[in-house]
Chain A
Amino acid sequence: MAGLLKQRNIIAVLIVFAIVFPFITNNNYFIHIMTLAFIWIIGVYGLNLLAGYTGYLSLAHAGFFAIGAYSLALLTTKAQMNYWLAFVLALIITSVLGMIIGLISLRTKEHFFAIYTLCVGYIIYLVIDKWDSLTGGVRGLIGIPAPGNIGPIEFNTPISNYYLVLFFLLITVLVVYRIVHSLTGRTYIAIRNSEDLAQTIGINTMKNKLMVFVISTFFAGLAGALYASFIRFIGPDIGYITITFDLLTYLIVGGIGTLSGPVIGTILIVWVSQQLQFLQDYRMMIFGPILTLLVIFYPRGISGGFIDWRAKRKEKKQNQLNLENQQMLSAQETSAASNKNG
């Protein structure tokens, strides 16, 4: 039983489940929802690196998501570029814009950073919305091609798209895992702890913050590009603030600053909100209170709450063990003493 609960095994089971999921359900709608959820998760992982691990709450992420999506859409439709070339270019464009914006916005800290990036996000939305000749304005862009063939593999069915997105998701998780468990990841955590302290042990904080900002926007752009070619139609609303807050909600519910948080939060909320669709916008009357309670009682979300619970249980066990050892020792001592006396 204990072996079953090992982290490695849980991850293996989840991956296997994700792979066989399309065979379990024949419902294309479910596959569609799951693919979308996977795309969001990629974006949430990007946000998590920046907001969770480094402590910089960026509210511009929908903007970068949109930049990724629009770059791909424009390059494939208007420039008629090869899909995968456009895909790579879209990621580069997002990262470069991320670097420029990061260079400026990272000079602010804490809530000033949040407010600044909120404005940046809104400006990106406005540019997309108003630049009619390039982005099509409110009408958006249509006719975005599905991902191009890779050799014999085609991506024109929901299932093949599902696997493509799953593939990128797994790579994202792997990359984030490697970053978090490296010195680089600890550097980010050190910056979150205290920037001054990080500096006094020799960390160039600006360089590291810029790096994580760019990585973070890269994943937002990746999610955006996948979204564009999956939905095949995009409008300026994908860059709107609500998307940022959706991503943030997924992250907070799942567990900010944890590795499993983005997966747990996103899948949970996406499915619950599907189930509650009959309530329309009144869904928020359920989500609002839940989110508030969660932030009060489990500020590190479901995943963080579980980690804390496990740490506490381990500590309890350790104390129990120490106590038993002590009792045993003292019992031995008394028996030794009585032997001596006798």
Chain B
Amino acid sequence: MLKVDNISVKYGSFVAIRDINIEVNQGEIVVLLGANGAGKSTTFNTISGLNKPFQGEVIFEGKKIDKLSADKVVKEGIVQCAEGRKLFPAMSVYENLKMGAYVHRKNKAQIKETMDHVFELFPILQQKKDDPAGSLSGGQQQMVAIGRALMARPKVMMLDEPSVGLAPLIVEQMFEVIQQINREGTTILLAEQNANAALKIATKGYVFENGNVVVEGTSEELFSNDSVRKAYIGA
């Protein structure tokens, strides 16, 4: 469905990622593991069109998308839920969600339907829908971020470290919701440092180090891989 074919990306003269190959099939949850600065976010930004690779290509449903601008990629059906829970802090929760449906802005009925669905997934957001998004707790902000990404009705949703800075209980809830979204038919691409939780729900994974993919395999393979266990699971 989505194929990242041998891409390399430079920031100035610094090569951030080199020769990355990723293949995502319909309905999968694919996890990118790695420390800060390993190249996970750069890979996401390249898929979503914010970065342009100087080599390689990104193919989505048979179409080359690496030259498209970011807003066109969203229209194709790939939506990124940015790291650090980037919201529009002064806008209300409701307005934030509505902005997420920007590409469907002409279809009011569909927006309402999707919004109801988001409120089903995160009932707390319905209670807080008129509050400014900036006033919410970390976990709730993450919910708004995921909800906003859902509003675009993505075929592929990219989540960049959804668990960062959240309490363990909330992280668990978050991963349950991600699984739920996946069961409803959205393919998930997940960047995580929390390898333990991520590999439990993923079908396969890629381990990033210094801008390269060093190990790849199914979750079971990664779980049983010694170097991965040592580096990311801590057991």
CB closest residue in chain B, given A194: B86
B95 and A200: CB pair below 8 A?
no
B71 and A187: CB pair below 8 A?
no
A193 in contact with B152 given A183-B105, A200-B79 (CB within 8 Å): no
Q: Mark A196-240, 1 if CB is under 8 A from B, else 0.
A: 110111111100000000000000000000000000000000000
User: Which residues of chain A from 92 to 126 have any CB-CB distance to chain B below 8 Å in the complex?
Assistant: none
Option from A199, A201, A202 in Cβ contact (under 8 Å) with B50? A199
Instruction: Count chain A residues whose beta carbon lies closer than 8 angstroms to a beta carbon of B.
Output: 16
Instruction: Give the CA-CA distance A187 to B98 in the complex, in Å.
Output: 11
A189 in contact with B90 given A201-B152, A202-B74, A202-B103 (CB within 8 Å): yes
Option from A189, A193, A196, A202 in Cβ contact (under 8 Å) with B102? A202
B88 and A189: CB pair below 8 A?
yes
CB closest residue in chain A, given B148: A201
Instruction: Give the CA-CA distance A201 to B38 in the complex, in Å.
Output: 25
A190 and B99: CB pair below 8 A?
yes
What is the CB-to-nearest-CB distance from A191 to chain B, in angstroms, rounded to a whole number? 10
Q: Tell yes or no: A186 within 8 A of B by CB.
A: yes
A199 and B71: CB pair below 8 A?
yes
Instruction: Count chain B residues whose beta carbon lies closer than 8 angstroms to a beta carbon of A.
Output: 25
Q: Which residues of A contact B102 (CB under 8 A)?
A: 183, 187, 201-203
Q: Mark B66-81, 1 if CB is under 8 A from A, else 0.
A: 0001110011000110
Q: Which residues of A contact B71 (CB under 8 A)?
A: 199, 202-205
What is the CB-to-nearest-CB distance from B25 to chain A, in angstroms, rounded to a whole number? 23
Q: Which residues of A contact B48 (CB under 8 A)?
A: 200
Q: Mark B49-87, 1 if CB is under 8 A from A, else 0.
A: 110000000000000000001110011000110100010
What is the CB-to-nearest-CB distance from A160 to chain B, in angstroms, rounded to a whole number? 42
Q: Which residues of B contact A201 (CB under 8 A)?
A: 74, 79, 99-100, 102-103, 148, 152
User: Which residues of chain B from 87 to 144 have any CB-CB distance to chain A below 8 Å in the complex?
Assistant: 88-91, 95, 98-100, 102-103, 105
What is the CB-to-nearest-CB distance from B23 to chain A, in angstroms, rounded to a whole number? 23
Instruction: Give the CA-CA distance A183 to B96 in the complex, in Å.
Output: 11
Instruction: Give the CA-CA distance A204 to B72 in the complex, in Å.
Output: 8
CB closest residue in chain B, given A199: B70
Residue of A183, A186, A199, A202 with most chain B CB atoms under a 10 A cut-off: A202
A200 in contact with B80 given A189-B90, A193-B88 (CB within 8 Å): yes
Q: Which residues of B contact A187 (CB under 8 A)?
A: 99, 102
Instruction: Give the CA-CA distance A307 to B50 in the complex, in Å.
Output: 35
User: Could you give 12 example pairs across A and B, Cβ below 8 Å?
Assistant: A183-B98, A186-B88, A186-B95, A189-B90, A190-B99, A196-B50, A200-B79, A200-B80, A201-B79, A202-B103, A202-B152, A203-B71
Given contacts A186-B88, A200-B82, 9 further A-B contacts (CB under 8 A): A186-B98, A189-B88, A189-B90, A199-B69, A199-B74, A200-B48, A201-B79, A201-B103, A204-B71
Interface residues of A (CB under 8 A from B): 183, 186-187, 189-190, 193-194, 196-197, 199-205
A-B complex: 7 closest residue pairs judged by Cβ atoms: A202-B74, A199-B70, A202-B103, A204-B71, A202-B102, A200-B80, A202-B71
